[in-house]
Amino acid sequence: MARVSHDPSSRAEEEGWSQGWWAPARRCPSPNFGARPAEARIDLAVVHSISLPPGEFGGDAIERLFTNRLDWDAHPYFQQIRGLEVSAHFLLRRDGALLQFVSCDARAWHAGRSHWRGRDNCNDFSIGIELEGLEGERFAPVQYRRLARLLRALARRYPLAEVTGHEDVAPGRKHDPGAGFSWPLLARLCGWRAEGRVLRCGT
């Protein structure tokens, strides 16, 4: 008879997790991260959208930005963000390719000034997921499928309770992923309940 392990670390390895890194994602370590507060409960995922330059897809500019290797002189727009040091835990490309920049056990620099349900500094307790796309525009069907798979994996590994957009943790300052993102579709793919732009994980 097969031996059943009740060791959480063993279960994580079986599901593809190792020290906060998920095996199905291509690992691209970013220097832009820090430790989470000791009492942090990772119970929120924040969905973003990004394209560099805005509206242009493909290429490696996003990856270079998150790893501090972007050539600021390669495009006029890059002068507007020159010196910016940011990251996210994950990036989902238009073709569904998934990259991971920061261990989910660590604090990525994705939300900036933010607030959610009485708590400031969402980076402390959230996981940031960037979708390659333009705020207000539509996203690719494969991105929804891969995002749903990722969210379900995160909910099995962490005490994830809700998923929402950057525009909702930083209202007025940020507007992504925007009106083109379908929260009802993501809810159906996850098997969770959507309440406006909020998904209730596991319900």
Active site residues: 130
Other Cβ atoms closer than 10 A to 20:
17
DSSP labels for 10-53?
A: HHHHHTTEETTEETTSEE---S-EEPPPTT----EEEEEEE-SS
Task: Give the span between the Cα atoms of 106 and 91, in whole angstroms.
Answer: 16
CB 128 within 8 A of CB 108: yes
Axis-axis angle for helices 141-157, 183-190 (nearest 10): 50
Element of type H or E holding 130: strand 126-132
End-to-end CA distance of the chain: 34
